[in-house]
Chains A and B, each alone.
Chain A
Amino acid sequence: MGAVTVAVLLVAWETAGRVGLLSAYHFPRPSRLAVTIWDLVVVGFPVGVTVWQHVGATIARIVQGYVLAAALAVPLGLVIGGVRALDQATAPVVTFARSVATISLLPLAVAWFGVGERSRVLLIAYGCFWVILTNVVEGVKSVDPELIRAGRMLGSTPRQVFTRVVLPASTPRIFAGMKVALGLAFMVIVGVEMIGTIKGLGALIMEARTFYRSDTAMVGMIFIALFGFALARLLDRLERVLLPWSTGLEAVER
């Protein structure tokens, strides 16, 4: 069914373009985009930088920033969520830092870390970090107190209450935060690739804009969407394998 919808839309778009309802510059036709994709695969844009190099550069940055963020935010969130005083002390900072639009930090990041890879990876990590942290903290805090009481009645030491009750009980929320963070990473990537590099799907879009290549910009956008979608699906699969008991997820904080 979904495939039919996509096919119908593509045909309508193509037809509208051919009869002149859509301008070729503003809405390059699907047939034109297919040619553009082919060019990007064999020739590249700019010449020599193929689409796979763009995709590779983008994915590498996202994975590095994302993994870095998760590696820091998950343990830190478990500690903050588990210690009420720490949560109260850090709450204003966390709320503020999470509210800062990551892209607005681009000039500062360039000043601190230069225009190289480090700035890009760290900005992605920054955006993901706060989303994951917030969700881990909430996950730990929102564990049903009845489960903790049950654990204590069954002889759990305080340490066992944490490792055998609190930790497993908060995993669905942690996972939910990881998924939101991944989506955020795909939004941030386009911004951070707009300066200082010609590799990456964001750079491709910027470069295409400079040369009035709306078809190339559109292809870049489509690739970002496709890979974002694929990685999100991968996480869904992973969740179903790792948390077969989970019924689905409650609301998640951005």
Chain B
Amino acid sequence: MNQPAATPKIVVNGVSRQFPAADPERGLALQDINLTIGANEFVSVVGRSGCGKTTLLNLIAGLLRPTEGEVCIDGRRVEGPGPDRGMVFQHSALFPWLTAIENVEFGPRNLGVPRDRRRALARELIDLVRLRGFEDKYPRELSGGMKQRVAIARALATDPEILLMDEPFGALDELTRAEMQEELLRIWGARRKTVVFVTHSIMEAIYLSDRVVVLSPHPGRVRREVPIPMPRPRQRSSTEFMAYYEDIHGSIF
């Protein structure tokens, strides 16, 4: 799990991203990012607000194009967004006019999967995220944690090999957040995906990941990459865990 070089899934190669701004210094969100992420690896990206975490994720997603450099997946350059990468957004971004199960079916429907097949697939995913009984609820009828469960199921519905997560639990309360972290590890164990997880919580990053990438701001650069070879489930209160926390916290501040 911790030899990313063995089978590179995602390669971020010399990527810079400039946004239009009066002051070009401030417009430079990312500068010369090099990152290799292995198949089935769980990588978190942490850093202070404005360090370009989300920009990096959007570049891998293909929602943004790099100003310089390239992002490759399985050796092919990313040219745009696609269902080979599932994305989970911070505020779920569920379609409010669709029920939970219809949201999950959205991707397969775009790809022309026949109705019966995609319904069966969606049911299976609803079970995976433990939302049986809530299939026909609209997003506004669901709690924050349930919405993110639907969002994860929706992202998995096109069977992507990569899951991109943009502070998916950032808007949840403490308890729901801890619960969702467990759920994510369980789902990741069941489905084996390559996960890129953006968060501003160092604890969350250490708890979940095989490797933590620390970005520094203005412009965004990779400051450090910290492998976390602790076995799971991890104890947040263990001395080893706290040592990682101190170490990463120290390199951010």
Q: A146-B89, A152-B81, A155-B111 given as contacts; is B158 within 8 A of A244 (CB)?
A: no
Chain B 69-86: CB-based contact to A (< 8 A → 1; otherwise 0): 000000000001111011
Whether A154 pairs with B154 at a CB distance below 8 angstroms is yes
Chain A 153-186: CB-based contact to B (< 8 A → 1; otherwise 0): 1111100100011001101000000000000000
Q: Which residues of A contact B94 (CB under 8 A)?
A: 150
CB distance from B108 to the nearest CB of A (A): 9
Whether B140 pairs with A245 at a CB distance below 8 angstroms is yes
Query: A147 near B: Cβ within 8 Å?
Result: yes
Query: A253 near B: Cβ within 8 Å?
Result: no
CB distance from A151 to the nearest CB of B (A): 8
Query: A144 near B: Cβ within 8 Å?
Result: yes
- Chain B interfacial residues counted at CB < 8 A: 29
Nearest to B112 among chain A residues (CB) is A155
Query: A247 near B: Cβ within 8 Å?
Result: yes
Q: Which residues of A contact B107 (CB under 8 A)?
A: 154-155
Q: Which residues of B contact A146 (CB under 8 A)?
A: 89, 91, 93
CB distance from B9 to the nearest CB of A (A): 17
Nearest to B82 among chain A residues (CB) is A155
Query: A243 near B: Cβ within 8 Å?
Result: yes
CB distance from A186 to the nearest CB of B (A): 30
User: Chain B CB within 10 Å — which of A149, A153, A155, A246 has the most?
Assistant: A153
Taking a contact as CB atoms closer than 8 A, the residue among A144, A149, A164 that contacts B106 in the complex is A164
Query: B110 near A: Cβ within 8 Å?
Result: yes
Q: A149-B63, A150-B87, A154-B107 given as contacts; is B81 within 8 A of A243 (CB)?
A: no
Whether A153 pairs with B111 at a CB distance below 8 angstroms is no
Q: A154-B107, A154-B158, A245-B138 given as contacts; is B95 within 8 A of A147 (CB)?
A: yes
Query: B61 near A: Cβ within 8 Å?
Result: yes
Query: B27 near A: Cβ within 8 Å?
Result: no
A67 to B124, CA, bound (A): 45
Q: Which residues of A contact B93 (CB under 8 A)?
A: 144, 146-147, 149-150
CB distance from A40 to the nearest CB of B (A): 46
CB distance from A241 to the nearest CB of B (A): 14
CB distance from B93 to the nearest CB of A (A): 4
Query: B97 near A: Cβ within 8 Å?
Result: yes
CB distance from B156 to the nearest CB of A (A): 11
Query: B96 near A: Cβ within 8 Å?
Result: yes
Chain A 214-228: CB-based contact to B (< 8 A → 1; otherwise 0): 000000000000000
Whether B63 pairs with A153 at a CB distance below 8 angstroms is yes
Whether B110 pairs with A149 at a CB distance below 8 angstroms is no
A226 to B37, CA, bound (A): 67
CB contact list, A235-254 vs B, under 8 A = 243-247
CB distance from A83 to the nearest CB of B (A): 21
Q: Which residues of B contact A152 (CB under 8 A)?
A: 63, 80-81
8 residue pairs bridging A and B, Cβ less than 8 Å apart:
A149-B61, A149-B87, A150-B89, A150-B94, A152-B81, A153-B61, A169-B97, A246-B96
Residues of A whose CB lies within 8 Å of any CB of B are 144, 146-147, 149-157, 160, 164-165, 168-169, 171, 243-247
Given contacts A147-B93, A149-B81, A149-B93, 7 further A-B contacts (CB under 8 A): A150-B87, A151-B106, A154-B157, A157-B110, A168-B95, A169-B96, A245-B97
